[in-house]
Structure 1
Amino acid sequence: MKSASNTRSSELPEFPPNDVTAGIDWARDDHAVAIVDGRGREVHRGTVEHTTAGLRELIKVLGKHGVGEVAIERPDGPVVDTLLDAGLTVVVISPNRVKNLRSRYGSAGNKDDRFDAYVLADTLRTDRTRLRPLVPDTEATIALRRACRARKDLVGHRVAAVNQLRAHLRLVLPAVVGLFRDLDSAISLAFLTRFDTQDKLDWLTPKRLGDWLAKQGYSGRVDPAVLHQQILAAPRGATSTHGTTQAHITASYATLVRTLVEQTKALEKQIDTQLTTHADAHIFTSLPRAGRIRAARLLAEIGDCRAKFPTPESLTCLAGAAPSTRQSGKLRTVGFRWACDKQLRDAVTDFASDSRRANPWAAKIYNDAITRGKDHPHAVRILARAWLHIIWHCWQDNLAYDPTKHHALQHVLAQQNEAA
């Protein structure tokens, strides 16, 4: 894949090359292709298989008709890589937008891959001033983004598996639930492996529990006698044969959780390594409470192509941190921005929410929003919008965040010093 992302123009020319445009409706097994001329007439319609030979045929067909620009619904994948490698301009039009555009050509609005390919091609012909070519990030950023999203998925699977394990234990072994702080911690999983039935729990005494915890290197500050009392006070679980059969289910859940924990940690090490070698790492790791994983997510979702966001507003809108304003006559409404990059919004709001614990300026913006009656998610989005303006400037200037040069932060600190 091409990595020289900034060599491509951030705007489309007034007219497409050779006065033709193409649209591709992406699918799992094959892709519908449509090519239209400058008057909107379809000059080619067909499908290509999602194979090496099929993608090669796609480039051949596009070249035969002199196509230089292609519209598609997704910004990544083998099809997009193939188009970019062939030197073609790729324009991404979101599926929601395509759904709304169908009404231009008929009232039914039914989904049809070949028709959607035509809609994509014709929209690229008619709406050029509102469309922007895809300017891909570098391979390092793309790899980091995929690693961060994979980790996020693993964390989601782990949370679901832990919830299933907890629900199971409440029925067959309630004493283990809440015995240690986290059910997916190493000590909890080790305890479940050794004491997976009520009969084994009954064998424990404060001394036996203390000895076992010492062998595990348990660093908790709770006395074994207190933990043992919690076990005795909890409802009794399944015993005898029934307890033994349920232990197999417990072991399955525990093994699944342990695997997810191990793989998440392995992926975090890989992310840390990738972040260390990334050219923009110093920008995002300098942010308060960004850490390594959070900084990597921010970098990966924002990307490294400066031309993609020419203004701070373009970044805040895509991140869903700027409200959506609708006005008709004297009626003006400001509401939640649903159309945005959900991954980017999640990364930014996650950072903003925690930044208020280490940055007085961020805390003030958040607290002021709460005082005005905003709920927590809304206050976090307000803070995220403020942070994105700072991040954008640091990103564009290739500079790390410096609290001493953040005038708004220094003003807040000065006010706090005067009040003290």
Structure 2
Amino acid sequence: MGVFCGIDWAEGHHDVALVDETGKLLAKCRINDDLDGYHLLLDLLAEHGDTAQAPIPVAIETSRGLLVATLRQGARQVFAVNPMAASRYRDRHGVSRKKSDPGDALVLANIIRTDMPMHRPLAADTDLAQAVAVLARAQQDAVWSRQQLCNQLRSLLREYFPAFLEAFKDKQGGLARADARRILAVAPTPALAARLPLWRLTAMMKRAGRRRNIEADAERLQQLFRREAPHQVPLVEEAMGKQAAALLLQLDTACEAVDDLGQATEEAFRAHPDAPIMLSFPGIGPQIGARILAEIGDDRTRFATAGGLKAYAGASPITRASGKRHYVGRRFVKNNRLNHVGHLWAFASISGSTGADAHYRRRRAGGDWHMQALRHLFNRMLGQLHHCLLVRISFDEAIAFPAEPQPAGTATA
């Protein structure tokens, strides 16, 4: 007789429920989130027939954490059930809409008892792929955090020091540039910036790593900082300068984290056997490749078809049909990280592949908006990536984007 386990996850403790294939409750308990609690859970599973050859499947509402890592050791199937899906199942067991942690554990156990084929277990990715996922997601979070801090600093500078924004508005990186951060740290107010001598501006730019056009740029900055402009009252300007200095400290830390995590991510990604195949695609560099690998993993059984991967990424459209009503539109339920990096990949591939560029322009000529054309290109190239990873071959431009046949009677040069 089959046994199924449901775990209602919490921060300090977890509720466990075991049911048989008829839905009868066999055991329930509450365990702490520590080593003793994990041993108690494994002992409880062993008492009800859990073995290394035939482990009891487990449903839980999270895909990460030490508890999940403990359960994933061996061949056990662990199902990460979306909390929203679990709440829909709860209504099947009662109409009073009551809720409790032991009851949620029982609901989770019954989900895999009745609908296991409808849910996907956690992928059996290699340790290296999981490490790349941790680093790539952390680096992406650091980039987003850096941009958020840049936006906050920009909003503050607009209120009292717009000349500084004008000085770096056309520079790549903007306020996150090393020379911009170094100059702002020394002169966080217009009064201090106006007193900066030319030699000091030049020295700060050199220490920040600048190698070209230093003297001309230093003269331009000095003219901007000394130009007549409206000012806040001195006390308010000084207070805003201190606020900008505090934000700048956070921005410096975020920039350093982006660089350190980016280097670690690239090293881990290049050590993975899928890296040469992914880097053969136009538009994929180490950072984009690492982010894609982080979300799709290296378990080739996870996506049986390219269509499943496209739906997971939100690249393929979704159809809603009922009677005479038929609607085809973009997906809103998707892996947002993969969808985000997919558009970066598609946009970069336009300049790296003549076939991708021609495909994008055809979609635009057919009436697609910019993002629609990029999504369609991402959808096509994602299917090609799935095939190349499955059969272990590199990208081939001639196969991926074959030349269209010319109309009959067209003369060729």
| Shorter-chain TM-score range | 0.7 to 0.9
The SS at the match of 1:31 is: strand
Q: Could you say which residue in structure 2 is the equivalent of 1:129?
A: 117
Aligned ranges 1:32-47 → 2 under 5 Å = 32-47=15-30
- 1:32·1:46 contact (CA, 8 Å) conserved in 2? yes
Q: Which moved more, 1:54-63 or 1:336-345?
A: 336-345
CA distance in 2 between counterparts of 1:253 and 1:379 reads 38
Cα displacement string for residues 228-285 of structure 1 (whole angstroms, at most 9, x for unaligned residues): 3333446344465544443322221112111111111011111111112111111111
Compute the displacement of 1:335 (Å).
Answer: 2.4
Are residues 378 and 96 of structure 1, via their aligned partners in 2, closer, same or farther at CA, if it must alter by over 3 Å?
A: farther
Aligned residues: 399
CA distance in 2 between counterparts of 1:328 and 1:151 reads 43
Cα displacement string for residues 82-106 of structure 1 (whole angstroms, at most 9, x for unaligned residues): 1122543222322222122222223
Q: Could you say which residue in structure 2 is the equivalent of 1:120?
A: 108
Q: Could you say which residue in structure 2 is the equivalent of 1:332?
A: 326
Code of the residue aligned with 2:399 in structure 1: it is H
Q: Could you say which residue in structure 1 is the equivalent of 2:346?
A: 352
The SS at the match of 2:37 is: helix
Cα displacement string for residues 321-359 of structure 1 (whole angstroms, at most 9, x for unaligned residues): 111112222322222222222222222232122212221
Are residues 77 and 208 of structure 1, via their aligned partners in 2, closer, same or farther at CA, if it must alter by over 3 Å?
A: closer
Compute the displacement of 1:216 (Å).
Answer: 5.6
The answer as to 2:136 corresponding to 1:148 is yes
CA distance in 1 between counterparts of 2:206 and 2:74 reads 63
- 1:360·1:413 contact (CA, 8 Å) conserved in 2? no
Q: Alignment partner for residue 79 of structure 1, among 67, 76, 90?
A: 67
Are residues 413 and 401 of structure 1, via their aligned partners in 2, closer, same or farther at CA, if it must alter by over 3 Å?
A: farther
Cα displacement string for residues 144-198 of structure 1 (whole angstroms, at most 9, x for unaligned residues): 1010111111111111111111122222322211212211101101111222222
Are residues 328 and 218 of structure 1, via their aligned partners in 2, closer, same or farther at CA, if it must alter by over 3 Å?
A: same
Q: Please list every run of 5 or more consecutive structure 2 residues that lacks an aligned counterpart in the other structure.
A: 51-55
Q: Could you say which residue in structure 2 is the equivalent of 1:376?
A: 370
CA distance in 1 between counterparts of 2:387 and 2:12 reads 43
- 2:321·2:327 contact (CA, 8 Å) conserved in 1? yes
Q: Could you say which residue in structure 2 is the equivalent of 1:188?
A: 180
CA distance in 2 between counterparts of 1:414 and 1:295 reads 35
Q: Could you say which residue in structure 1 is the equivalent of 2:53?
A: none
TM-score, normalised via structure 2 length:
0.88
The SS at the match of 2:403 is: helix
Code of the residue aligned with 1:129 in structure 2: it is P
- 1:73·1:95 contact (CA, 8 Å) conserved in 2? yes
TM-score, normalised via structure 1 length:
0.87
Q: Please list every run of 5 or more consecutive structure 1 residues that lacks an aligned counterpart in the other structure.
A: 1-17
CA distance in 1 between counterparts of 2:137 and 2:266 reads 14
CA distance in 1 between counterparts of 2:314 and 2:207 reads 50
**RMSD of aligned C-alpha atoms?**
2.6
CA distance in 2 between counterparts of 1:20 and 1:75 reads 21
Are residues 23 and 253 of structure 1, via their aligned partners in 2, closer, same or farther at CA, if it must alter by over 3 Å?
A: same
The SS at the match of 2:29 is: strand
Are residues 216 and 61 of structure 1, via their aligned partners in 2, closer, same or farther at CA, if it must alter by over 3 Å?
A: closer
Q: Which moved more, 1:238-247 or 1:129-138?
A: 238-247
Code of the residue aligned with 1:170 in structure 2: it is R
CA distance in 1 between counterparts of 2:241 and 2:379 reads 50
